[in-house]
Amino acid sequence: MAKSLGCEWGPHKINVNCIAPGVFRSPITKRVFEDPAFNKMVLGRFPIGRLGEPKDFIGAVLFLSSKVSDWMTGSIMIIDGGYTAG
């Protein structure tokens, strides 16, 4: 959707990008990660070795909200602790 809308709305000077988050700590995931075995299994899949925290998205949000990203449209920023890299 980001790619399609980026192409469609780009001529109107509207940038469309998205952030694709991996698993991160939140009130919704808190209960799942209370299980030590599950927690260990999941953390073993992240090259960074930890779950994401809400603060880990601040840089991407600030970048996409600022003028420095004006030359970017139709992109997906994957913020997942390296999960998709490995």
CATH code for the domain in which residue 21 is found: 3.40.50.720
> Which of 82, 73, 19 minimizes the C-alpha distance to 50?
82
Q: Tens digits of per-residue pLDDT, 22-78?
A: 888 888 888 888 888 888 888 888 899 888 998 999 999 999 999 999 999 999 999
Alpha carbon distance 22, 14 (integer Å): 26
Handedness of CA 60, 12, 6, 72 (dihedral sign): negative
Domain that residue 13 falls in: 2-85
**pLDDT for res 6:** 97
Q: Tens digits of per-residue pLDDT, 8-21?
A: 999 999 999 999 99
**pLDDT for res 25:** 85
* 25-52 residues labelled b (16+ CB within 10 A) or e (exposed): eeeeeeeeeeeeeeeeebeeebeeeebb
pTM (predicted TM-score) = 0.81
Q: Is 22 helix (H, G, I), strand (E, B) or coil?
A: coil
The tally of domains found in the chain comes to: 1
